[in-house]
Amino acid sequence: MVQSIDLPRNESGIATALGVLKQQFGDRLHTGQAMRNQHAHTTTWIRPQAPDAVVFPRSTAEVSEIVKVCATHKVPVIPFGTGTSLEGHVNAPAGGVSVDLTQMDAILAVHAEDLDCVVQPGVTREQLNTHLRDRGLFFPIDPGANASLGGMASTRASGTNAVRYGTMKDNVIALEAVMADGRIIRTAQRAKKTSAGYNMTQLLVGSEGTLGLITEITLKLQGIPEAISAARMSFPSIDAACRAVMTTIQYGIPVARIELLDELNVRAANAYAGLALPEVPLLLLEFHGSDQSVREQTEMFASIAEDVGGTDFEATTSTEERNKLWQARHDLYWATLQLRPGAQGISTDVCVPISRLADAVTGAQAKAAELDLLSPIVGHVGDGNFHCLVLIDMEDADEVARAETFVAWLADEAIAAEGTCTGEHGIGQGKMPYLVKELGATTEFMAAIKGALDPQNIMNPGKIFSR
């Protein structure tokens, strides 16, 4: 199993920086063990590595002050949003200061006429959507957890709506960030298009805090659709379900969500949410548009899916029924953990071209069976992205070893299928070896950029690159 690696600590620098920060931030700098442990918490199997202190800035200027102090004393700076990242992103392998951005949670502007808004990084996606609802607007990116928008930008998050609305890559217009020397930059203006130099916005989106700390985000918004319809359909096999997905995408049906649950997930959802879905592969869908367009999309999908053997089609425009369906989807992580109480879930995150999806999912099922692992699969299949949640007993060394074999095999298979080891979770500490397998020499140019923008390697060290 890939484990987090401890990096050399700069003890004297850390001590000095903490002293300076204590003077500046008083009781907003915390060094108690409980607070430190909480900021190393990851919803993953990666071992926690607590920072030396946690600080709660309230402004970009304060973030800049923190980074300047850390730069002066060569101390790591680890940004923290809600701690829901999955690959050890908030760990502190060389110690240092966790910068908790939850107090920077202001929605600074909503430009309804431009379909954009400007937020601080601690704003969560649910907070933003609650704020926007009365304006008839919404922010579509939905990674499941109620993550902070700064964290979502940092990991290039996506989720269930990405098939229609794209990922954070497609929805961040501009960023303000504090760079490794404490300087504050703005990566772009608020115009929808730009060819003004290098795309610093997209360089920072997905950089996991390793190049700069995001302090403000300009996001694209969407109008709440006139009509929303949800649907579900059962399939005799994963292959049939994947064929339905592929044809739906090829036909250009602008489906807003198209999620696959394998039979194990359906069983878990039935048990957890008291549903009675047929325990075979299931697609959950959502359609957005005008009344007419939603009706048309729903009918087209049903017809496509029936052609490949889909059954038990149900569609609804009732908000209540729709929410029930999607609540079951969002609770899947917890539901599947109940398939084996006490087990630890290891989430994988491969993404392949959609033509390779059926083979990839059925291959993963077969490999898990071969290794005698319980590994339900759920997928944002319109994008070719799926997660195997391997449920293992961490005390069983043999099982851990088999899980390690599986995770590595899956990454290799995805890469061989022209896919990626991570569709939306990021590299963090967990996927460094796969990144090199996937992109080879390209990672050396990434490291050169890291070296140029953060020569002291203080910005979230030990993530993406193993140093």
**In the range 127-166, which residues lie near its own copies by CB under 8 A?**
155-158, 162, 166
Interface positions, 381-400, toward its own copies (CB under 8 A): 383-385
Q: Residue 257 forms beta bridges with which residues?
A: 286
Distances (CA, A) of 377 to 17, 81, 234, 418, 429: 45, 27, 15, 20, 23
Judged by CB under 8 A, the residue of 15, 61, 108, 185 near its own copies is: 185
Q: Which of 222, 265, 429, 460 binds its own copies (CB under 8 A)?
A: 222
- Minimum gap (Å) between residue 213 Cβ and its own copies: 14
Sole binder of its own copies in the list 59, 199, 318, 323 (CB under 8 A)? 199
3-state class of 132 per DSSP?
Answer: helix
Cα distances (Å, whole numbers) of residue 426 to 28, 90, 182, 228, 423: 29, 12, 25, 31, 7
Residue from 121, 140, 425, 458 touching its own copies (CB under 8 A): that is 425
Question: Looking at 108, 133, 192, 327, which residue binds its own copies (CB under 8 A)?
Answer: 192
- Is 195 an interacting residue with respect to its own copies (CB under 8 A)? yes
Minimum CB separation of residue 88 from its own copies in Å reads 14
How many CB atoms neighbour CB 323 within 10 A?
12
Cα–Cα distance, 396 to 243 (Å, whole number): 38
Please state, in angstroms and rounded to a whole number, the distance separating the CA atoms of residues 373 and 17: 46
Site for its own copies in 248-267 (CB under 8 A): 249-252
* Stretch (H or E) spanning 71: helix 60-72
Which of the ranges 55-63, 277-285, 361-369, 411-419 carries the binding residues for its own copies, by CB under 8 A? 411-419
Q: Applying CB under 8 A, does 190 fall inside the site for its own copies? A: yes
If one asks whether residue 207 binds its own copies (CB under 8 A), the answer comes out as yes
φ, ψ (nearest 5 deg) of residue 212: -175, 165
Per CB under 8 A, contacts with its own copies among 298-357 are: 349, 351-355
Tokens representing residue 402 in the block? 């088999």
Stretch (H or E) spanning 97: strand 97-100
**C-beta of 200 vs 283, nearer to its own copies:** 200
Q: Which of 113, 134, 372, 398 binds its own copies (CB under 8 A)?
A: 113
234 is an interface residue for its own copies by CB under 8 A: no
Handedness of CA 449, 450, 451, 452 (dihedral sign): positive
Candidates 23, 37, 130, 189; binder of its own copies (CB under 8 A) is 189
Contact by Cβ (8 Å): 217, 150 = yes
422, 429, 457, 460: which one binds its own copies (CB under 8 A): 422
Q: How far apart are the first and last CA of the chain?
A: 18
Please state the closest distance from residue 1 (CB atom) to its own copies, in A: 20
Distance separating alpha carbons of residues 249 and 252, to the nearest angstrom: 5
E strand or H helix that includes residue 259? strand 257-261
User: Which residue in the set 43, 130, 290, 323 belongs to the binding site for its own copies (CB under 8 A)?
Assistant: 290
The number of residues that bind its own copies (CB under 8 A) is 90
DSSP reduced 3-state for 404: helix
Contact between 114 and its own copies per CB under 8 A = yes
15 is an interface residue for its own copies by CB under 8 A: no
**What is the rounded CA–CA span in Å between residue 306 and residue 154?**
40
CA-CA distances (angstroms) from residue 395 to 34, 48, 76, 400? Answer: 25, 17, 32, 8
Answer yes or no whether residue 17 interacts with its own copies by CB under 8 A: no
Q: Does 197 contact its own copies by CB under 8 A?
A: yes
Is 292 an interacting residue with respect to its own copies (CB under 8 A)? yes
Per-residue binding string, its own copies, 430-449, x by CB under 8 A, is: -x---x--xxxxxx-xx-xx
Stretch that binds its own copies, among 69-77, 218-226, 315-323, 396-404 (CB under 8 A): 218-226
252, 182 in Cβ contact below 8 A? no
212: its two tokens: 């700069």
Shortest distance, position 131 Cβ to its own copies, whole Å:
18
Count helices and strands in the chain by DSSP H and E runs: 17, 19
Instruction: Determine the residue type at 317.
Output: T
Which segment (62-70, 316-324, 365-373, 417-425) binds its own copies by CB under 8 A? 417-425
In this chain, which of 41, 186, 330, 340 binds its own copies, going by CB under 8 A? 186
77 binds its own copies (CB under 8 A): no
Is 359 a residue that touches its own copies (CB under 8 A)?
no
Nearer to its own copies, 3 or 290 (CB): 290
